[in-house]
Amino acid sequence: MNPNSTLSLGPSEADLVQAADLLRAGQLVAFPTETVYGLGGSALMGETVAGIYAAKGRPSFNPLIAHVASVDAAKDLVQWSDLAARIAAAFWPGPLTLVLPLREGHGVSSLVTAGLPTLAVRVPAHPTAQRLLSLVGGPVAAPSANPSGRISPTTAAHVHHGLDGKIAAVVDDGPCGVGLESTIVGLAGDAPVLLRPGGLAVEEIETVLGQSLLDRDQGDPLTAPGQLLSHYAPNAAVRLMADAPQSNELYLGFGARDGDLNLSPSGNLAEAAANLFDCLHQLDARNIPIAVAPIPDHGLGHAINDRLRRAAAPRD
């Protein structure tokens, strides 16, 4: 994309219809929420989600928050609970993200969840975000709309400065009100866990719950995502940069190096990123050592290799 090719849109209905059309077509569109500007892409399309990482230049795959227009839309994606209902009734729409177990038939790309069985979901309160999400009619993955490592954008000008030429459009509706990322509460384990402090005060949540939130590191290690993430690895041994498999190994191919599965037969890194977690899960289910073809270490290849290195790291 050349630097002038990022459209500037506003909050008018006609512009939001255009933005929603772009999102439904798998394009990237930045939009305002009450927390910060989000870099949105359809959560249902793996290559689009890979494009979010590419546009941000993120060097690793962390799970992203899926934004939806309503509680009902959230319930289509995750397993709802009484606790979730209580918190959502009090704080949605708003700057609160809930992490819940994925529901059967959710359709969300495994690149959004970074291969986890849970999904972070939020109903933003910003009227423009609300309208846009209703028009899209499906979940939109949206991390902050800034290049990796830079500060979060609270105006459309910040977004243009960081991402012009890398995304299809920016919806400008003035500065964000909260300016802090959403508070994230994990509800996938036995007790609610504060996964990230943010724009909604913890005390307010605790008042509604009638109990205190556990700290991240007190949570159930199987459901506390930070831990799952750093340790996420197939059960079987993983060998990287393998030109060919040995006789006892499954082979995860890339490009012309074909195998039991191939991340991208055409050698496309966005496609490889979109397929990465599904491929690892599928091969892991067979419980045989896995050899992985070399992945070029540029662009999305950095994040793919980062994840593969973690999968291959020695563990206890």
Task: Report CA 143 to chain centroid distance, whole Å.
Answer: 7
* Sole binder of ligand AMP in the list 44, 45, 65, 159 (CB under 6 A): 65
Q: How far is the CB of 97 from ligand AMP (least distance, A)?
A: 6
Q: How far is the CB of 31 from ligand AMP (least distance, A)?
A: 14
Strands 169-171 and 96-101: unpaired
From 63-71, 87-95, 166-174, 205-213, give the range in contact with ligand AMP by CB under 6 A: 63-71
* Sole binder of Mg ion in the list 6, 35, 144, 305 (CB under 5 A): 144
Q: Is 184 in the site for ligand AMP (CB under 6 A)?
A: yes
In whole angstroms, what is the distance from residue 115 CA to residue 97 CA?
18
Which of Mg ion, ligand AMP, none does residue 207 bind to, with CB < 5 to 8 Å depending on kind? none
Name the CA dihedral angle for 121, 125, 131, 136, rounded to a multiple of 10 degrees: -10
Q: Which amino acid appears at position 78 of this protein? A: V
Q: Is 110 in the site for ligand AMP (CB under 6 A)?
A: no
In whole angstroms, what is the distance from residue 96 CA to residue 151 CA?
20
Q: How far is the CB of 143 from Mg ion (least distance, A)?
A: 5
Q: How many CB atoms lie within 10 A of CB 105?
A: 7
Q: Which two tokens stand for residue 262?
A: 């191939």
CA distances from 282 to 74, 141, 144, 166, 285 (A): 27, 24, 31, 32, 5
Instruction: Give me the residue whose beta carbon is nearest to Mg ion.
Output: 144
Q: Which two tokens stand for residue 133?
A: 């999400």
* Sole binder of ligand AMP in the list 5, 8, 12, 62 (CB under 6 A): 62
* Sole binder of ligand AMP in the list 181, 249, 271, 284 (CB under 6 A): 181
Measured from the CB atom, the residue of 222 and 244 that comes closer to ligand AMP is 222
Q: Is 195 in the site for ligand AMP (CB under 6 A)?
A: yes
59, 42, 56: which is closest to 305 by C-alpha?
59
> Which residues bind to Mg ion, rule: CB under 5 A?
144
Residues engaged in binding ligand AMP (CB under 6 A):
62-65, 99, 113, 116, 118-120, 143-144, 181, 184, 195-196, 225
